[in-house]
Amino acid sequence: MGAKTIAVLTSGGDAPGMNAAVRAVVRSAISFGMSVYGVMRGYNGLLNGDIKEMNMRSVSDIIQHGGTSLFTARSPEFNTNEGVQKAADFCRAKGIEGVVVIGGDGSFRGARDLCGAGIPCIGVPGTIDNDIACTDYTIGYDTALNTAMEMIDRIRDTTESHDRCSVVEVMGRRCGDIALHTGIAVGAMATLVPEVPYDFQRDIVDRMKAAQQTGKRHYIIVVAEGVGHTQELTERIQAATGIESRATVLGHVQRGGSPTLRDRVVASRMGYHAVELLYNGASNRVVALKGEQVVDFDITEALNMPRIFDENLYRVSARLSI
Ligand code: ADP
């Protein structure tokens, strides 16, 4: 049957809503009659024995906070066969029969390896980038989108006052979802994403000139981090158009802040689902949102799924943005 003692950890990049997921895991486990440990600083906590037994009150007053109260880390030691074995041995010594891993693709590879060493694991997608193929939604994404939108609205005020062009870099190394959605939400004149190549003259300079003909005097261009060279691009735009242009890199501001309602609710539902899976004896699964349904997939299958970029929405955004 299912696990009686489980553990929960947050790993890799932090995301707003991770606390809501931790809270859901702890409270669900206790409601199922399980014991639950919080593991500190990702997989590192399993390697150095840094865990604490959680009760109902351990997760009070965290649902509204960004970051992760269990802290997070990248663990090079765990990323070795010896590290995985050491973590599995520690779990066995403590009677831990299941681990909920809240993190991104890298953390799920770790969870798959820990399963291979005999410890059942369930992944819960937590990353602001929305870059996990098996799920329509990752915890933290909505908060990051709203933060980016609000920041760009502020940038727009000053851009407008000075008749400038602002090039704003948002997060997303391999995935343009934050750029695409904030680009639409702020009415960006152009949005550049890693998934779609762009032509500097056609997609930026010609569009700016055409917009200028219709009376436009200020411009917002949103660029995903993965496209790169934001400062250089900004200088090229100024040189090609004569319009004063400034670059802003939003950076880690997008990682923080109080999670939105959507992030809190999705995190709560996913955390509950993860515990239910362990309670029912499941292992090696990733929790996902498909449409509005919480579902789960085999971790290895999930890691092999191709990520699909919404090219149709990208085309719509280009039509709206001139
Ligand atoms: P994210 O989960 O946000 O994608 P990382 O890619 O940094 O973040 O992964 C977090 C941690 O997961 C790593 O520091 C490492 O301990 C573990 N990990 C990543 N990839 C593997 C792997 N292939 N095998 C075992 N553990 C891994």
Q: What is the pLDDT of residue 246?
A: 98
- For residue 113 and ligand 1, the question of a CB distance below 6 A is answered with yes
For the chain, 322 residues long, give each residue's pLDDT as a single digit of tens: 789 999 999 999 999 999 999 999 999 999 999 999 999 999 999 999 999 999 999 999 999 999 999 999 999 999 999 999 999 999 999 999 999 999 999 999 999 999 999 999 999 999 999 999 999 999 999 999 999 999 999 999 999 999 999 999 999 999 999 999 999 999 999 999 999 999 999 999 999 999 999 999 999 999 999 999 999 999 999 999 999 999 999 999 999 999 999 999 999 999 999 999 999 999 999 999 999 999 999 999 999 999 999 999 999 999 998 7
Question: What is the 75 CA–ligand 1 centroid distance (Å)?
Answer: 7
Instruction: For 48, list phi and psi in degrees, rounded to 5.
Output: -115, 15
- For residue 13 and ligand 1, the question of a CB distance below 6 A is answered with yes
Question: What is the 106 CA–ligand 1 centroid distance (Å)?
Answer: 3
5-140+259-304 matches 143-255 in fold:
yes
- Cα diameter, the chain: 72
| Best residue for ligand 1 mutational test, from 9, 11, 82 (most atoms within 8 Å of Cβ) | 11
Q: What is the pLDDT of residue 321?
A: 84
- For residue 109 and ligand 1, the question of a CB distance below 6 A is answered with yes
Whole-prediction pTM value?
A: 0.97
Tell which atom from ligand 1 comes closest to the C-alpha of 44: 16
- For residue 75 and ligand 1, the question of a CB distance below 6 A is answered with yes
Closest CA to 299 of 321, 284, 310: 284
Distance CA 165, CA 235 (A): 11
Distance CA 143, CA 131 (A): 15
Contacts of 1 (CB under 8 A, 6+ apart): 281
| Best residue for ligand 1 mutational test, from 18, 79, 299 (most atoms within 8 Å of Cβ) | 79
**SS3 of residue 152 by DSSP:** helix
Closest CA to 169 of 182, 157, 160, 158: 182
Six token digits for residue 190? 């152009």
Residue nearest to atom 14 of ligand 1 (CA): 74
- For residue 97 and ligand 1, the question of a CB distance below 6 A is answered with no
Tokens 């009760």 correspond to what residue? Answer: 55
Closest CA to 108 of 299, 271, 273, 290: 299
Q: With 0-12 CB in 10 A as exposed, 13-18 as middle and 19+ as buried, what is 56? A: exposed
Q: Using alpha carbons only, what angle is made at residue 148 by residues 208 and 158, rounded to the nearest 5 degrees?
A: 55
- For residue 123 and ligand 1, the question of a CB distance below 6 A is answered with no
Q: Are strands 285-290 and 121-125 parallel, antiparallel or unpaired?
A: parallel
Fold held by 5-140+259-304: Rossmann fold (3.40.50)
- For residue 106 and ligand 1, the question of a CB distance below 6 A is answered with yes
Q: What is the pLDDT of residue 241?
A: 95
Q: With 0-12 CB in 10 A as exposed, 13-18 as middle and 19+ as buried, what is 232? A: exposed
**SS3 of residue 12 by DSSP:** coil
Six token digits for residue 81? 């066969």
Contact 130, 182 (CB under 8 A): no
Judge whether 129 counts as a catalytic residue: yes
Summarize pLDDT for 238-273 with one digit per residue, the tens: 999 999 999 999 999 999 999 999 999 999 999 999
The answer regarding whether domain 143-255 maps to CATH 3.40.50.460 reads yes
Contacts of 279 (CB under 8 A, 6+ apart): 2, 3, 32, 34
- Strand partners of residue 10: 102
Q: Where are the domains of the chain?
A: 5-140+259-304, 143-255
Summarize pLDDT for 9-37 with one digit per residue, the tens: 999 999 999 999 999 999 999 999 999 99
**Reduced 3-state DSSP string for 269-298:** HHHHHHHHHHHCCCCCEEEEEECCEEEEEE
Annotated catalytic residue: which of 14, 105, 129, 177?
129
Six token digits for residue 223? 């660029």
